[in-house]
């Protein structure tokens, strides 16, 4: 799930410490590193679900070879998630997974684990909780629009409410390890520390964050 860099506002909560242009450049690094990582997964058909629909040409120029493009459809995030996952399942995939673009150091092993669990039928729903109460990943084996309707997005209730709804519907849930996304200056500084402490990680994001933090 991705906004197209340079088309509309991105990372607005970072505008207290970054100009809109720098926040956009940071998000572009997040997105490109994430797309490269997804392409590297085995036994997965990668898509980028982009918005706005009018930006298809720009996204096509950004996306690496092997990634299919599909525009997001729907009035809010819940509608867009439901429409995307339903469309992918109706194409015949054993499962469909949506992941965010705001957790650049997310281990791809978590995504691979969710894909394996769904493909094997070990669960009906895969959920990757964010530390702020949202989720970085949701995967389904069947269409479940009730998991997305009237959801208080961008609040700490999103993950627990999604989990409760799934369980109330009798769906088995595979919960992945928690991770963090980057929305605030505190998150950005945590990301910088995380990148410094490891030898691997997203190359574009690493270089740009080091530059940003030297200026803050």
* Structure confidence by residue, pLDDT tens digits, 91-122: 999 999 999 999 999 999 999 999 999 999 99
- Asked if residue 213 belongs to a domain, the reply is no
- Asked if residue 211 belongs to a domain, the reply is no
Q: What are phi and psi of 138, to 5 degrees?
A: -140, 135
Interacting residues of 215 by C-beta distance below 8 A, sequence separation 6+ = none
Residue 134: exposed, middle, or buried by beta-carbon count in 10 A (0-12, 13-18, 19+)?
buried
SS3 183: coil
- Asked if residue 130 belongs to a domain, the reply is yes
- Asked if residue 214 belongs to a domain, the reply is no
Question: What per-residue confidence (pLDDT) applies to 54?
Answer: 95
**With bands split at pLDDT 50, 70 and 90, how would you rate the model's confidence at 214?**
confident
Question: What per-residue confidence (pLDDT) applies to 201?
Answer: 82
Interacting residues of 61 by C-beta distance below 8 A, sequence separation 6+ = none
Q: What is the mean pLDDT of the chain?
A: 94
Q: What would the mean pLDDT of 68-77 be, rounded to a whole number?
A: 94
Position 213 pLDDT exceeds 90: no
- Asked if residue 175 belongs to a domain, the reply is yes
Q: What is the pLDDT of residues 170-211, one digit of tens each?
A: 999 999 999 999 999 999 999 999 998 887 889 999 999 989
Question: What per-residue confidence (pLDDT) applies to 89?
Answer: 96
Could you give the CA distance from residue 141 to residue 59 in angstroms, rounded to a whole number?
28
Could you give the CA distance from residue 156 to residue 162 in angstroms, rounded to a whole number?
11
* Domain tally, the chain: 1
Q: What would the mean pLDDT of 38-43 be, rounded to a whole number?
A: 92
CATH number of domain containing 25? 3.90.550.10
- Asked if residue 216 belongs to a domain, the reply is no
**With bands split at pLDDT 50, 70 and 90, how would you rate the model's confidence at 141?**
very high
Domain enclosing residue 138, as ranges: 2-205
**With bands split at pLDDT 50, 70 and 90, how would you rate the model's confidence at 1?**
very high
Buried b (16+ CB within 10 A) or exposed e, 84-98: bbbbbbeeebebbbb
Q: Which whole-number Å values give the CA distances from 158 to 50, 65, 178, 215, in the listed order?
A: 22, 33, 14, 34
- Asked if residue 46 belongs to a domain, the reply is yes
- Asked if residue 30 belongs to a domain, the reply is yes
Could you give the CA distance from residue 133 to residue 125 in angstroms, rounded to a whole number?
17
């Amino acid at each position: 799930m991705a906004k197209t860099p340079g088309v509309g506002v991105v990372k607005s909560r970072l505008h207290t410490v970054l100009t809109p242009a720098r926040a956009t450049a940071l998000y572009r690094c997040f997105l490109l590193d994430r797309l490269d990582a997804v392409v590297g997964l085995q036994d997965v058909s990668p898509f980028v679900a982009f918005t706005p629909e009018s930006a298809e040409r720009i996204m096509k120029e950004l996306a690496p070879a092997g990634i299919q493009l599909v525009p997001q459809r729907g009035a809010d995030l819940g509608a867009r998630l439901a429409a995307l996952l339903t469309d992918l399942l109706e194409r015949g995939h054993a499962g469909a997974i949506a992941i965010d673009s705001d957790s650049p150091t997310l281990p791809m092993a978590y995504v691979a684990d969710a894909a394996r669990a769904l493909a094997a039928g070990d669960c009906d729903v895969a959920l990757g909780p964010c530390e702020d109460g949202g989720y970085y990943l949701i995967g389904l084996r069947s269409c479940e629009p009730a998991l997305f309707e009237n959801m208080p997005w961008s609040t700490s209730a999103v993950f627990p409410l999604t989990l409760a709804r799934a369980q109330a519907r009798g769906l088995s849930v595979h919960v992945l390890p928690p991770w963090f996304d980057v929305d605030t200056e505190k998150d950005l500084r945590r990301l910088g520390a995380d990148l410094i402490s490891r030898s691997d990680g997203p190359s574009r994001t690493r270089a740009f964050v080091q530059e940003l933090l030297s200026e803050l």
